[in-house]
């Protein structure tokens, strides 16, 4: 191809729809015309085509005056745009517009008289938008110093007479273009897109994406080297930016990838546009008019050489899935062939069809507005005598979305389909049908319309991002919640860089306030920002609407760092929306057995995770260890545990001679206790933890089944304030000092322990005992330091030497690290690492 080969540029309606955009187009064409021969194809300005359709409909209804008002609207747009660029010639340009539109007014008058708009008449009406746009652009270019000439597309592009969907006579079109191109080097030819004509000169249109198709046909006919489509986006994106905020332009695609994307309905491409380019080896570039320095997307025969090239996710929405099934071997009925033929005869577009291996069932995806016509056609075809009793009733599911992955590299890798379906399954998206072509260049599936956003975002993150995005809605900004935010501030960048996980806090709430931003909340000063929010009565507010927003974000996780009651209903709402839950809150797990089982069942039913490791021993891996013992078939015979880091700390302080009141005060100051220390001192907190462990063994116990002895006896007035209660502890200082002294004399230390003995089930003896006990030196609990906790598992396999988990068991920072670990477990599971 010679170095003087033409370049073809196409400008869409938005690119010439306003004075600012039009000026940019004139400057772009002028700049590129200096670099080599150039041909320009242009669409109608702005919404002109829609207005022309409106005018035709009004004229057909006999409303000529209103139709002419629409023509005046079209004229005003054209005159305003042209006059803004060439004010000194505004009168002449206005007269030119009026002259161009005069035949349109006459045509509409004729339509209104006959009350009929035939297909040829409608084609003529629609042609005026491009004619006006191309004529004005040629004059504006010439006035700006770039010689340009209007070229009538109806004299260049030859079609048949299928008005509304004309087919191009490629050979005759090439003859005319070759004859015309010789005179195009002296001035830039400006060609109306979308329109053509039959061999005898009757106007036709090229249908959807008609101007792009015009540009491709012109390029093929004049042996151009490249077509550039100038539009209002930076190129073809990895996904719809309206759905995926992280979608980004793809730099380089192959022709085959472009054709695949066109076939599944990507707005900027159409198979008819791609085919002439593929046949002629011409590259296509998509660029942004307002960002002319951005390279956009290049589509050519080579494509990207990068093995890690991005994958495009395309969606086609507002579809319906039709399922047809027969009761006998389908080769008797040629099911697939008959179904597709019936739909073709009914002029119903089939976006996807997939048939079972034995041919007994077929699923087809069609536009939802065509469902009634498709259903009637299929029922008519399949109700014939020989098959009437062998066909199941037609199954219709709507609305659905067709989701497609497209990438040349997919055919060269392994487990692409596995990653695709695994990512969708991990967030609870049901795949209703699927198909993959022989080239392995694309894979498609059908999902419910309600799952479109989450399916697209999840798939995009799985295939296109160097990191796994995670969206966190944090409940509680107290000791634990505050520490979670602090750790996120310090670890966020490292987690993204080293582990490929991008944690983003999108919501923060306390008992009376809430903040939410799908784009993410800045972590610095977040607690103070929440404190400034107007409080709401807790009885009247609901967080469920925020869950509806959360579910649409990548890997949504509700993180409960509160000790609040009644949150099980919020958990359930989260599970039902495909939202994972990480909870440091013990109360949902201490519900009555049936309620607790229903809660966990809801999570399983919706395929989401519920992690609560920190409910028993902060960051210690107690629940996970127990679950692994049970899963691997071991039998747990006894669990002995010091499950309260706060009581462990208090016991150690007492042993060191610190008074009880001072020890409790110190534990509270360090964040070891619950907000109300009576939760710890009553033993209720430990009882809940012991109950959680017992239930992990499948024991259907309740809090009332726990034999509980408080560390500090319950006070007679439970409505006493926390501060008054702490002051009242001074009256117990002497008694506890004496108790510790007795332990010292007997060679023991005071500890607060839980004991779970499954062998007691059904004996009438409590399975769970919780209370203060003296333990001898040498016992695993005797040498616990500070706020340490420990859990000892005596099992069939660990009988002589019990399996022991030991470490820090209290404190906001420790618990927060466990919460963060649970969050990362979910993230890494979805990421496949």
- For residues 40 and 17, give the distance between their C-alpha atoms in angstroms, rounded to a whole number: 16
Active site residue 760: no
Closest CA to 321 of 400, 234, 248: 400
Name the residue with tokens 């296509």. 284
Count of alpha carbons within 13 Å of 751, Cβ hemisphere only? Answer: 26
Q: Radius of gyration (Cα) for the chain, nearest Å?
A: 36
Cβ neighbours, 10 Å, residue 148: 24
Cβ neighbours, 10 Å, residue 130: 27
- For residues 606 and 580, give the distance between their C-alpha atoms in angstroms, rounded to a whole number: 10
Q: Would residue 723 be called left, alpha or beta, if left means φ above 0 and alpha means ψ between -120 and 50 degrees?
A: alpha
- For residues 310 and 249, give the distance between their C-alpha atoms in angstroms, rounded to a whole number: 9
One-letter-per-residue 3-state SS of 785-827: CCCEEEEEEEECCCCCCCEEEEEECCCHHHHHHHHHHHHHHHH
Q: What angle do CA 80, 81, 86 make, to 5 degrees?
A: 95
Q: What 3-state class would DSSP assign to 439?
A: coil
Crossing angle (nearest 10°) for helices 812-831 and 416-426: 140
- For residues 491 and 496, give the distance between their C-alpha atoms in angstroms, rounded to a whole number: 9
> Strand pairing of 636-642 and 706-708?
unpaired
Peptide bond into 399 cis (omega under 30): yes
Q: What angle do CA 687, 729, 704 make, to 5 degrees?
A: 20
Check if the beta carbon of residue 71 is closer than 8 Å to that of residue 125: no
In sequence order, the 6+-apart residues with CB closer than 8 A to the CB of 286 are 228, 229, 231, 233, 235, 236, 268, 296, 297, 299
- For residues 584 and 615, give the distance between their C-alpha atoms in angstroms, rounded to a whole number: 5
Crossing angle (nearest 10°) for helices 452-464 and 416-426: 130
Exposure pattern of 190-216 as b/e (b: 16+ CB <10 Å)?
bbbbbbbbbeeebbbbbeebbbbbbbb
One-letter-per-residue 3-state SS of 49-110: HHHHHHHHHHHHCCCHHHHHHHHHHHHHHHHHHHHHHCHHHHHHHHHHHHHHHHHHHHHHHH
The continuous run of DSSP H or E covering 316 comes out as: strand 312-325
Q: What 3-state class would DSSP assign to 225?
A: coil
Q: Which of 498, 689, 730, 760 is catalytic?
A: 689
Name the residue with tokens 């409106």. 54
Please list the active-site residues: 689
């Amino acid at each position: 191809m010679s170095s003087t080969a033409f370049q073809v540029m196409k400008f869409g309606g938005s690119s010439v729809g306003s004075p600012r955009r039009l000026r940019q187009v004139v400057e772009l064409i002028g700049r590129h015309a200096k670099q080599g021969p150039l041909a320009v194809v242009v669409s109608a300005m702005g919404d002109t085509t829609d207005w022309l359709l409106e005018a035709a409909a009004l004229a057909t209804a006999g409303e000529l005056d209103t139709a002419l008002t629409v023509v005046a609207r079209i004229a005003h747009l054209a005159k305003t745009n042209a006059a803004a660029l060439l004010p000194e010639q505004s009168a002449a340009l206005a007269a030119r517009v009026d002259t161009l539109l005069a035949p349109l007014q006459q045509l509409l008058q004729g339509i209104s008289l006959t009350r009929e708009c035939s297909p040829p008449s409608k084609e003529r009406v629609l042609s005026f938008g491009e004619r006006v746009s191309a004529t004005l652009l040629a004059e504006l270019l010439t006035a700006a110093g770039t010689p340009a000439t209007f070229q009538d597309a109806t004299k260049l592009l030859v079609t048949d007479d299928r008005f509304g969907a004309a087919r191009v006579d490629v050979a005759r079109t090439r003859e005319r273009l070759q004859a015309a191109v010789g005179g195009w080097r002296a001035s830039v030819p400006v060609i109306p897109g979308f329109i053509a004509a039959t061999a005898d000169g009757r106007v036709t249109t090229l249908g959807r994406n008609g101007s792009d198709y015009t540009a491709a046909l012109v390029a093929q006919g004049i042996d151009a080297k490249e077509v550039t489509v100038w539009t209002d986006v930076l190129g073809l994106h990895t996904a719809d930016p309206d759905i995926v905020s992280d979608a980004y332009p793809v730099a380089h695609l192959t022709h085959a990838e472009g054709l695949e994307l066109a076939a599944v309905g990507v707005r900027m491409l159409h198979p008819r546009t791609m085919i002439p380019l593929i046949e002629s080896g011409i590259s296509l570039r998509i660029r942004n008019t307002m960002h002319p320095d951005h390279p956009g997307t290049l589509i050519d025969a080579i494509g990207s050489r990068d093995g890690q090239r991005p994958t495009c996710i395309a969606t086609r929405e507002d579809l319906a899935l039709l399922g047809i099934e027969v009761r006998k071997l389908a080769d008797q009925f040629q099911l697939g062939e008959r179904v597709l033929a019936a739909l073709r005869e009914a002029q119903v577009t089939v976006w996807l069809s997939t048939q079972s291996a034995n041919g007994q069932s077929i699923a087809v995806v069609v536009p939802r507005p065509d469902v009634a016509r498709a259903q009637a056609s299929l029922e008519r075809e399949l109700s014939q005598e020989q098959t009437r009793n062998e066909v199941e009733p037609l199954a219709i599911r709507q609305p659905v979305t067709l989701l497609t992955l497209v990438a040349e590299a997919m055919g060269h890798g392994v487990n692409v389909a596995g990653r695709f379906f695994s990512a969708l399954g991990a967030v609870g998206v049901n795949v209703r049908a699927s198909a993959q072509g022989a080239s392995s260049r694309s894979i498609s599936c059908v999902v419910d319309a309600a799952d479109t956003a989450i399916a697209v975002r999840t798939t995009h993150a799985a295939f296109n991002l160097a990191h796994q995005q995670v969206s966190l809605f944090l409940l509680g900004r107290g000791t634990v919640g505050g520490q979670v935010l602090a750790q996120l501030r310090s670890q966020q960048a490292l987690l993204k860089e080293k582990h490929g996980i991008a944690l983003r806090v999108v919501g923060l709430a306390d008992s009376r306030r809430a903040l939410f931003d799908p784009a993410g909340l800045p972590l610095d000063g977040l607690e103070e920002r929440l404190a400034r929010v107007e409080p709401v009565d807790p009885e009247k507010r609901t967080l469920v609407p925020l869950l509806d927003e959360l579910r649409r974000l990548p890997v949504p996780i509700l993180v409960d760092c509160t000790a609040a009651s009644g949150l099980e209903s919020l958990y359930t709402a989260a599970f039902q929306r495909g939202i994972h839950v990480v909870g440091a809150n013990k109360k949902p797990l201490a519900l009555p057995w049936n309620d607790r089982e229903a809660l966990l069942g809801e999570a399983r039913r919706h395929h989401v995770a519920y992690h609560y490791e920190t409910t028993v021993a902060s960051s210690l891996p107690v629940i996970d260890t127990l679950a692994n013992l049970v899963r691997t078939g071991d039998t747990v015979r006894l669990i002995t545990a010091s499950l309260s880091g706060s009581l462990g700390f208090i016991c150690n302080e007492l042993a060191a001679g610190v008074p009880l009141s001072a020890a409790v005060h110190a534990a509270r100051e360090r964040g070891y206790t619950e907000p109300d220390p009576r939760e710890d001192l009553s033993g209720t907190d430990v009882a809940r933890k012991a109950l959680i462990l017992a239930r992990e063994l499948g024991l259907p116990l309740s809090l009332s089944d726990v034999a509980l002895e408080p560390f500090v006896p319950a006070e007679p007035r439970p409505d006493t304030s926390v501060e008054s209660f702490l002051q009242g502890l001074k009256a117990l200082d002497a008694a506890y000092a004496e108790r510790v002294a007795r332990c010292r004399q007997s060679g023991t230390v005071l500890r607060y322990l839980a004991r779970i003995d499954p062998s007691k089930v059904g004996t009438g003896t409590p399975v769970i005992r919780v209370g203060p006990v003296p333990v001898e030196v040498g016992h695993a609990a005797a040498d616990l330091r500070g706020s340490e906790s420990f859990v000892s598992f005596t099992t069939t396999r660990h009988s002589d030497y019990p399996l022991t988990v030991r470490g820090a068991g209290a404190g906001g920072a420790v618990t927060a690290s466990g919460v963060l670990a649970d969050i990362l477990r979910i993230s890494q599971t979805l990421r496949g690492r």
